Structure 1
Amino acid sequence: MLDIWRKYGVIGIVIIAVGSFILLQIFPKKEEETSFIVDQQDNVFAQNETEMTVEAEEPLILLVDIKGAIKHPGLYKINEGDRIQDVIDLAGGLKDDADENQVNLAQRLQDEMVIYIPTIGEEIEHIQPNISSTTTQSAQDGKVAINHATAEEIQTLNGIGPKKAETIIAYREENGPFHTIEDLLNVSGIGEKTVENIRDQISVP
């Protein structure tokens, strides 16, 4: 009888030893898998923090002057890409007698820009709305300030008709001001020959 108990005891020890060996083989792998998952999560968090930092970059600040039939005329700081409607809101909105039909509320704002809001029935033949001070300076030099000129002014350039003038303005309002004369090549219908013909007639403030 004693031999039988000894035999079972040896078998039990063997079973415990084998079981312990198997458990040691399983749990380290799980720890390695868990560590790998944690490392992946850390990488994702670090990438998200980098993207958030890039998105948090402050936009360029511009200064514009709004006048006329506006509740609080004056100088306002706005962000690059803002439109005339945005600065009107900052200035308290339009007065009751303002003629907003003469103003392009969707036009993008530019640094040093002057926005004039006329009143209903006001004659503005000698007032150019949405014009910046640099436009006046360029006009005195005999050149057309391509970033601020009206369609009529742009049509005074060699080879530029009404359709091309409107295309230039549409591109300017959608993409912002031109930084170089060569940027005009990005406008549909404007080629190198056209740019060379008007190079001496325009300015890019």
Structure 2
Amino acid sequence: MTTDGRVLKGNETRRLVLGQAMRIASVEGLAALSIGRLAGELELSKSGVFALFGSKEELQLATVRAAERVYHDRVIAPALDRPEGAARLWALAENWLAYSRTRVFPGGCFFYAVGAEFDAQPGRVRDALAEGSNAWHALIAGQLAAARAADRLGADEEVEQLAFEVVAVLEYANAMSLLHDDASPYDRARTALRRLLGADPND
């Protein structure tokens, strides 16, 4: 096999492993991941999988980064063609609800699941999750600020508080839908968002 062929094969194996790792972690948590388990489930060489990641922590970090790419592609990127402010904010919220509702990850929102697992465990994995959480909050807050500047929100609205409430509504819908195996929390989330944000300008 040529060098290019080995690289392509290695990249494909990495994508395969990370796809399975994301599915497992969204349901069972990142602690459930192991190189041996993934190799066995995918019928791959354990030594080959180990060579791709080197340690359980590196596997966990790679899984988080892979999930971030999925999240960006499903939730963030499709909203970027909307005007800044209320329209983009609503697009982000609707994309998030669809991402959770359609079970892009079988355990619902990947980051809600693994965030609860690592929120009290200092280390590189927690730092990576916290960085992603901060970026998401900042994106929501930025769109709220743009909406306020365009008079789509009251001038006295506190952006950071409202961003906290928006994210809380989304995450609670995800949690209740999973717990009760029920899609109605997503409809309730939209009702709550309309109370917080006003009508969706994309309608």
TM category (shorter chain) comes to under 0.3
Q: Which of the pair is proportionally richer in helix? A: 2
When normalised by structure 1's length, the TM-score is 0.25
When normalised by structure 2's length, the TM-score is 0.25
Q: Which has the higher contact order (CA 8 A, sep 6+)?
A: 2
The structure that has the greater radius of gyration is 1
Q: Which of the pair is proportionally richer in strand? A: 1
